[in-house]
Amino acid sequence: MKFHIMTLFPQIIEAYMSESIMKKAEEKGNIEYKTWNIRDYSESKHKKVDDYPYGGGAGMVMTPQPIVSCYNAVVDDLDASLKQEKKPKVIYLTPKGKVFNNDMATALAKEESLILLCGHYEGVDQRVIDLIVDEEISIGDYVLTGGELPALILIDSISRHVKGVLGHEESLEEESFTNGLLEYPHYTRPEVFMEKEVPKVLLSGHHKNIESWRKLESIKLTMKLRPDLFDYEALSKEDKKLLKK
Ligand code: ADE
């Protein structure tokens, strides 16, 4: 999976990508990324990238020329096969977009490459969206100062679904949202901490009981914390039985 990130602040992207799991994923060759500084493509004398909105109003709007020229440079840089047959999806990060979730991360992880466009100020000129954007994605119902954090959130959550990135893919099957439930609570040593004990069943070595306990905790947690996610009818017969006990 290769991410192309079009941004006015490549260092924000580089800083996050050069640490921890993202760094390892790149070193192992599971993911690749390249930042593209939109300002480098401005044809104006002072490398201007924004201007006042037509019709008036507060704030500035990102002008179309530097973004579209930057996009053309990204496309020129693609492998020949991608250039001709399956141009990567262009995703614009915006609070007006479809709200991102785990299913979208799983689906996008199947793409060979993605182009992420980070906005700033009041956003980009609508013609950029009309001309080059395939999908508009928001990371939640709040407004940030720019699209870099949202782009990183997409990169991180999509990369976790790329083979080899986690090195323990089975954890993807158990984690929150995978089966419409929040993940069960975790415990590690010590067995007693500030008088609080690890649930006995986890020390029993009885795999079937541990599995049932975890499932029930997942269900109870989802009902309590995320009733909007919970769907009783989607539970299996066995899970419904567990809940009745
Ligand atoms: N840019 C600013 N706010 C955003 C949000 N909530 N999601 C995606 N991009 C954004």
Could you read off the pLDDT of 137-151 as tens digits, one per residue? 999 999 999 999 999
Q: Determine the distance separating the centroid of ligand 1 and the alpha carbon of 94, expressed in angstroms.
A: 4
Query: Does 62 share its domain with 124?
Result: yes
Query: Does 123 share its domain with 226?
Result: no
pLDDT single digits (tens) 196-226: 999 999 999 999 999 999 999 999 999 999 9
Could you tell me if the CB of 143 is within 6 A of ligand 1? yes
Between 238 and 83, where is the model more confident? 238
Q: Name the residue with the closest Cα to ligand 1, atom 2.
A: 144
How many structural domains compose the chain?
2
Residue 90 counted as an annotated binding residue: no
ipTM of the complex: 0.98
Task: Examine the pLDDT at 181 and tell me if it is beyond 80.
Answer: yes
Q: Name the residue with the closest Cα to ligand 1, atom 7.
A: 138
pLDDT at 168: 82
Q: Which of 159, 185, 209 is the last residue of a domain?
A: 159
Task: Examine the pLDDT at 188 and tell me if it is beyond 80.
Answer: yes
Query: Does 82 share its domain with 194?
Result: no
64 contact partners, CB below 8 Å, separation of at least 6: 124, 125, 127, 128, 131
Query: Does 193 share its domain with 141?
Result: no
Residue 143 counted as an annotated binding residue: yes
Query: Does 28 share its domain with 78?
Result: yes
pLDDT at 175: 84
Structural tokens at position 112:
């060979």
pLDDT single digits (tens) 66-109: 999 999 999 999 988 888 888 999 999 999 999 999 999 999 99
Query: Does 153 share its domain with 180?
Result: no
Tell which atom from ligand 1 comes closest to the C-alpha of 139. 7
Rounded CA-CA distance 119/148 in Å is: 8
Packed helices 10-17 and 148-159: angle between N→C axes, nearest 10 degrees: 30
For residue 202, the enclosing domain spans 176-244
Query: Does 84 share its domain with 55?
Result: yes
Task: Examine the pLDDT at 167 and tell me if it is beyond 90.
Answer: no
pLDDT single digits (tens) 53-69: 999 999 999 999 999 99
Query: Does 125 share its domain with 201?
Result: no
Answer whether residue 167 is part of any domain.
no
Query: Does 101 share its domain with 40?
Result: yes
pLDDT at 85: 84
pLDDT at 79: 87
**Across the chain, what does the average pLDDT equal?**
96
Query: Does 80 share its domain with 200?
Result: no
Query: Does 25 share its domain with 72?
Result: yes
Answer whether residue 32 is part of any domain.
yes
Structural tokens at position 241:
């039985």
